[in-house]
Structure 1
């Protein structure tokens, strides 16, 4: 199963995230060898499963594969009904790794702007990773210690409480093959505000995120525009309700009961 097919963004990705490596390692990743390796590995299986149409398109058109089948990731639905937007806190939530490509620093920078018009809003950042200390310092530097809370890893029950009580899920990543976290958030009725990436094959989340239907989008890396989208959503309860309703409808299409049917066909 292929969750993300790097092609035109390959050198960009390896170039950016090997800056701290030695010259030989960096030269290797910036060369054609990673692509050649991936190309050969993908020839080995009888069937290649792509989790999104975008990934399937890249594997078919740019890697030249003819044995690619589409079967999306699934999500375990919560027990319904879930709290309505009128019952929720003025909270935002991010769930995922704290790594450079996730661009959680953009979310923190956006929060510094958002609280000027929405002083009661909180942002809960759930997850851990190499950027944890850097992000903690950024929170303190912006005077956001009471508004942005870094929780680290939490149990599923605690995570689900945040999903039930928040108004939006923020996905500032510069690359996503699919994003199960965003889909799970939708199952809890959260509109997703996601960054639109620079490279086509990094945009797997937009397989199910439809801007102005079940979420909002902004240009990746633009924390000012992210702040604008957050403020727009927080200021409009009717927009929240509309996006929330559509988010649940979308998530139900990806329930495991539906997804397992396609996997059974693949397995014969």
Structure 2
């Protein structure tokens, strides 16, 4: 066990031999930190949290009570292979959040970006890749192998099917089941999610120029009503647009995917 001199570990916490605890990190009472866990500088682990497996937690992240990070995946094919969970810097992981490591069949790693907010009861399954500044609202759940782009928001009580990609800046409304890919900056809502426009609130909060928002509106209209298949329309968009935001949608649509798309 390597514990920095500036770290504080409560005497009623269990930190197993082999764990690495960084400078200024605080581990509260009744926590369990496994032997392959690495906590970077300035991490706070509040009472009753469990961090196990080959898990790294980035600088300045806070883990709230009863969160369970790095326990074995909820995948019957998992056979004890060595896999890992990587959590970025300055994340806020609230009460009862669960995050699982990867599996051999999915690349062996679950990766969480920086500055995320994972509200109470949310779940990140094995082999998910999550970008920066992602928000998962209370009791939202990602199934295995999902990709979530930077700045996306997943509403409370929503579920995302395995292998689904959610593009950067997209927003999923509360109590929505998402079964297909969501293009960047989209608004998706409904009991069975359908593409219902753009995430205009998110775009304005991010300071996106009015010209780009206008271009995104036109792009969505072309995807909705243009001639040809959905991907053919996207290719034409890529040839005609000057907006980097529209190009990000085109790149997303034309990338490899194991699912279909939520279309307008």
* Structure with greater strand share of residues: 2
* Structure with greater helix share of residues: 1
TM-score higher than 0.5: no
Q: Calculate the TM-score normalised by the size of structure 1.
A: 0.24
Higher relative contact order, chain-length normalized (CA < 8 Å, sep 6+): 1
